[in-house]
């Protein structure tokens, strides 16, 4: 019996979270999961180079080639079905896909967000903007969240979170780096492993780890 689950990773940029997943896979820490394909929304995403360097299949599905989110979402859904995706990971993927995708992969798509949801999340909160807003507000802790993807941005059931201290002299860049190192790169591979090993139960909008 082949238990292996195909993980398809969606990326838009540098791909350090993809690298954390690749490193976890190389250490045998993705459970039944295997990264089978990386799909980028931009042709210049460095994440594509990371995938190629590790012998992982890549595809590009360029957001700008599609008139709207609905047609892009349908194209993405079809690509994911073609790739036999069992689990879909948004790893620095900067496009919000609609229900055409989310409904096709219920409780099988996860996103890493660089803040403690429900703080600093939703439309417009992505990448460095999240950390700029956290510093503007003067929070003393921030962190990262891995959650299931639903059609509503950053609103799906929370799987794992990790808090990270904010320092007085932080810039958005230093805070981003610390949150990546101390939180994102740890909880994203862990959540993917739990999902691939079917250890996550979702009930009434909340998750429980078996």
Q: Does 143 bind ligand GAR (CB under 6 A)?
A: no
List all residues 6 or more positions away from 63 whose beta carbon is below 8 Å from its beta carbon. 41, 42, 72, 95
Q: Give 93 or 105: the residue with its C-beta nearer to ligand GAR.
A: 93
Please name which of 63, 72, 153 lies closest in space to residue 113, comparing C-alpha atoms. 153
Beta bridge partner(s), residue 208: 201
Least Å from the CB of residue 177 to ligand GAR: 9
Q: Does 175 bind ligand GAR (CB under 6 A)?
A: no
Least Å from the CB of residue 2 to ligand GAR: 29
Q: Give 11 or 104: the residue with its C-beta nearer to ligand GAR.
A: 11
Q: Give 87 or 91: the residue with its C-beta nearer to ligand GAR.
A: 91
Instruction: Report the residue closest to ligand GAR, judged by CB.
Output: 92
Q: How many CB atoms lie within 10 A of CB 54?
A: 15
Sign of CA dihedral 55, 113, 95, 45: negative
The Cα–Cα gap between 22 and 33 comes to: 11
Window contacting ligand GAR (CB under 6 A); options: 15-23, 29-37, 98-106, 158-166: 15-23
Q: Does 14 bind ligand GAR (CB under 6 A)?
A: yes
**Footprint on residues 44-103 left by ligand GAR (CB under 6 A):** 47, 91-92
Q: Can you say how many angstroms the Cα of residue 76 is from the centroid of all Cα atoms in its chain?
A: 15
**Does the active-site annotation cover 113?**
yes
DSSP secondary structure string for all residues of 97-153: --HHHHTTSTTTEEEEESS-TTSS-STT--THHHHHHHHHHT-SEEEEEEEE--SST
Q: Identify the residue among 72, 89, 184, 200 touching ligand GAR (CB under 6 A).
A: 184
The Cα–Cα gap between 104 and 78 comes to: 10
Window contacting ligand GAR (CB under 6 A); options: 13-21, 58-66, 135-143, 201-209: 13-21
Tell me which residues touch ligand GAR (CB under 6 A): 13-17, 47, 91-92, 112-114, 126-127, 130, 180, 184
Catalytic residues: 113
């Amino acid at each position: 019996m082949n238990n292996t689950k195909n993980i398809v990773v969606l990326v838009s940029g540098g791909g350090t979270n993809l690298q954390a997943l690749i490193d976890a896979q190389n250490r045998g820490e993705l459970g039944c999961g295997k990264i089978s394909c990386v799909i980028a929304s931009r042709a210049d995403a460095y994440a594509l180079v990371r995938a190629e360097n590790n012998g992982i299949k890549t595809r590009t599905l360029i957001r700008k080639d599609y008139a709207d989110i609905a047609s892009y979402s349908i194209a993405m859904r079809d690509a994911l079905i073609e790739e036999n995706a069992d689990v879909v990971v948004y790893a620095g993927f900067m496009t919000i896909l609609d229900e055409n995708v989310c409904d096709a992969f219920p409780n099988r798509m996860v996103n890493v967000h660089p803040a403690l949801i429900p703080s600093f999340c939703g439309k417009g909160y992505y990448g460095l903007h999240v950390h700029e807003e956290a510093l503007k507000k003067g929070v003393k802790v921030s962190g990262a969240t891995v959650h299931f993807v639903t059609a509503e941005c950053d609103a799906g059931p929370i799987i794992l979170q990790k808090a990270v201290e904010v320092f007085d002299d932080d810039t958005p860049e230093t805070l981003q780096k610390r949150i990546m190192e101390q939180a994102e790169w740890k909880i994203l591979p862990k959540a993917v492993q739990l999902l691939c090993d079917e250890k996550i139960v979702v009930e009434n909008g909340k998750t429980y780890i078996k």
